[in-house]
A and B are shown apart, each in its own frame.
Chain A
Amino acid sequence: MRRTEKLISKMKEMVGEAHLLKDSDRLKSFRIDGKRPKVVIYPATTEEVSKIVAYAFDQTLTIIPMGNGTKIEIGNIPKKVDILLSTQRLNRITDCDCDNLTLTAESGITLREVQKRLAKEGRGYFIPMDPPFTEKATLGGIVATNSSGPRRYMYGTARDLVIGTKAVFPNGDIVVSGGKTVKNVSGYDMSKLLIGSYGTLGILCEMTFKLLPIPEKEATLLIPFVRLEDGDAFVQEIIGSQLLPSSIETLNRSAVRRLNHPVSLPREANYLIAIGLDGVGESIEREISELTERGKKYQSLDPWVLHSEEHQSFWSALRDFAGSLKEGRTSFLSFKSNVLISKGGEVMKSYEEMINQRGMEGAFISRSGNGILYSYLFPGRNLRSKMESLIELIQKLTSEAVKNEGNMIVETAPSILKKRISVWGETRPEYQVMRRLKEQIDPKGIFSPGRFLGGI
């Protein structure tokens, strides 16, 4: 107890009493897998973060960084949570250089806010990322979890779009990598190491992103199919063609039904393929007609097109699928599988069968151009009684992904289930190197201990 008091008084000195939470009632709502932090602290500058971390390092106290917490549930149950470090006050855009097509901002600002600002600059710009939790996701959280959305098909992910980082390492050092230039091979690419490292190596404080001008025009083509095999063959043809959609998504009926959007499938259809298009006006019209023609070869039903508002709201419903399920208080588990691009359809089919065989409902959203499949499983009531069957199912789903040269992450699951499964999928030999990196960079194991794969 004395240690906690000392910690709190130290933290007060560093950020001021107004910027920390210590009352046990308030702290309850910050539990991660049931583990309550001793204090939640809100530093306002990278230097403050550095001081907090240096103190924690000295005292061997554990720290978990968090933005708005939209993805904080992902990962193993933490070994210990002493300090929850909120990035919410690190919320400035530090350099908006649209002429150079770069933007630098602190980690606690939401992507939403950044995009709003960029839209107003000059002829209008954006960071070409569309990860889930549109309203709340912070830049730091997006990058730390390597979160991405449908438009990654055309624009890539954080590893393609983040060109510089400033992070606080476990010894308190402020470490800079990359910068404002799109080409940079000076030293090791530490930014790559931090992207998707889930707060286990460094606390991201500032990042530089590549920007693009907002496209002239956007639209969505929705094409229903009766059979997944047909839809998948159509998708494979598009991927191999010279057409340039910005996203290609395949949804099953359950996903369309649960989508927080008025779009619905015709009665005879079972799958919906949604193609996002952006670019110059002429190209969009031609792509719509060509895609429609190509779809007919694969027995598509009549497609339809969404423009402007409808187009925007469709994609935000799609990327916020998990978020709206949470708001609806539906109990669900969610998985992210990565597989070979050409196997996306097959894997979705086999997942669907495995889940249906067990009398459960599964909603699927496949990022078909990238081989990324998001599955949402609705186990129904009385989860405890289904535990064994869920564990077995998760193993099967994981093996199926591994068989297709990928893996599976369990993103959403109750703690009682997490304890008994491998949240990060099957461990590969490269894990040995990851562990050595963690030991070198965080020898005391104070950053998000135990949460990452293999207990890193």
Chain B
Amino acid sequence: MNREQMIEELSKIVGKENVLYSETDLLLYGYDASLFKAKPDCIVLPGSTEEVSQIVKFARRESVPVVARGSGTNLSGGTIPAKGGIVLHFSRMNRILEIDIKNQRAVVEPGLFTLTLKNQLARYGYVYQPDPASERVSTFGGNFGENSGGPHCLKYGVTTNHILGAEVVLPDGEAIWVGGKALDHPGYDLTGLLVGSEGTLGIATKLVLRIVPKPEAVKTMLAIYNSLEDAGRTVSAIIAEGIVPATLEMLDKLTIKAVEESIHAGFPLDAEAVLLIEIDGLKDGMERLAERIIEICKENHAREVKAARTEEERAQLWAGRKGAFGAVARLRPNYLVCDGTVPRTKLPEVLTRVMEVGKKYNLPIANVFHAGDGNLHPLILFDERNEEELRKVHLAGSEILKICADAGGTISGEHGIGTEKKKEMLFVFTPKDISAMRKVKRAFDPEDIFNPGKVLPEVQI
């Protein structure tokens, strides 16, 4: 079937206005927040589960790939239409279907922005815990596909711990429910398997989320250090003390500089590192815990510890963290963000080795990361117009992931494998592991219609 026929058929399902195919559109939907690009055949904006189902049935009949996409904030090339085909863009399916306070669940469509739900929940005094840095625009469909993380995952777990069910369109076009509002459905945990499957197994059209009352109290602190190692030691010391904060975030000197130039979060420019620490829960005993944390910071040579006194001060400290990627982007034309994750005790040594990689390739590296859960985000700065740098940046990125894997960690904590890290999957998995995953793929998508060419590398057994 040629492209014109395809567009005509798809227009019959969703209406002409909801099929995009101009050259500009094909460029716009051919990239994400990674370094990869490709071109889809067309972009379709479904308005209902039924439409998604019909589109997928059509795609299967014609053997056309289908790639689901939200806001395209993906950092691993997961939304790149690597083999062309249809990009399913969910901007029209963006409603909150239900906020069910009694049962502590929200039911949403996949195109809804994460923060939009949170703002609505705030009116009821409720929260949805995961907080990916891109939450202002990241969609729940994307959070589901990628098993997104965020700073609060240290205490509250990642997206998979907060998605309890979904309506999913399978590669044969059938829509089924997995999980639901109640917990512990008998049978395999298909919800748990689908979360983080990067759009390769099923496309979510409705999601059931766990929501909970907002914590009674929260305390946010900023500790400032003259050495990165001291900041790292503080992280271990806090955990060893038996305190599990809600967040433990670290920013290094280069990041601080970038953040201060663009956001003015109040981070001192001459510091080598800052730690953003937040505890939450019941108000009782919180002051005592905060004081103990401040003591631990000082024992580990923090030169200053500031505690936010008002909600505004807290928001300002957080703005520095949440805007860090954007701020770093001002330093050089491009950056590659690595997502290696290590056992938290290995952080200091891995960090040192990461900086050595930067020196080896002569590329600046800014570090901003979830120190409390061992999730590093070295941002390797470069200019993609410089071919030599482009070549080096991929080598450096891969080398950093190898360091993380060798330290008993993994190659991706929250950004996904996508197109970018397929090769590196073999740093952490044997061909037998991959072959087991391949069986899962075959059980769902024997004809490889959904997001083909992602996640699983080709292996010989």
Residue ranges of A at the interface with B (Cβ–Cβ < 8 Å): 97, 99-102, 122-124, 146, 148, 156-157, 159-160, 169, 173-177, 179-190, 192-193, 195-197, 201, 212-214, 236, 239-244, 279-283, 285-287, 336, 338-342, 370-372, 404-407, 409, 424-425, 428-434, 436-437, 439-441, 452-453
Contacts and interface: CB of A to CB of B under 8 A. Distances in A.
A190 B456 CA distance: 13
A157 B436 CA distance: 25
B188 A181 contact: no
A176 B213 contact: no
Interface of B: 101-104, 146-147, 149, 153-154, 157-158, 160-161, 170, 176-178, 180-190, 192-193, 195-197, 201, 213-216, 236, 239-244, 281-282, 284-285, 288-289, 341-345, 370, 373-375, 408-417, 421, 425, 428-430, 432-437, 439-444, 455-456
Nearest to A404: B182
B99 to A, nearest CB: 13
16 contacts: A100-B345, A159-B189, A179-B408, A180-B408, A181-B342, A187-B456, A188-B197, A189-B196, A201-B188, A241-B213, A242-B213, A336-B184, A340-B182, A407-B186, A430-B176, A453-B187
Contacts of A282: 284-285, 288
A102 B408 CA distance: 12
Contact of B433 (A100, A176, A193): A176
Contact of A183 (B188, B215, B370, B432): B370
A176 B241 CA distance: 32
Given A242-B282, A430-B176, A185 B183 contact: no
Nearest to B217: A242
Query: What does DSSP make chain B's interface, helix, strand, loop or mixed?
Result: loop
A189 B160 contact: yes
Contacts of A431: 187
Given A212-B244, A425-B186, A240 B101 contact: yes
Nearest to B182: A406
Contacts of B184: 146, 148, 157, 336, 338, 372
B425 A186 contact: yes
Nearest to B198: A185
Given A159-B189, A243-B282, A183 B440 contact: no
Contacts of B242: 123-124, 213-214
A372 B236 CA distance: 37
A241 B442 CA distance: 45
The 9 A-B pairs at the shortest CB distance, nearest first, are namely A192-B192, A213-B242, A280-B285, A183-B413, A282-B284, A283-B284, A242-B216, A342-B102, A406-B182
Given A183-B153, A440-B443, A424 B186 contact: yes
B263 to A, nearest CB: 25
Nearest to B408: A180
A181 B413 contact: yes
Contacts of B193: 188-190, 192-193
A182 B155 CA distance: 10
Contacts of A174: 432
A287 B213 CA distance: 16
A243 B417 CA distance: 39
A187 B178 contact: no
Contacts of B182: 338-341, 371, 404-407
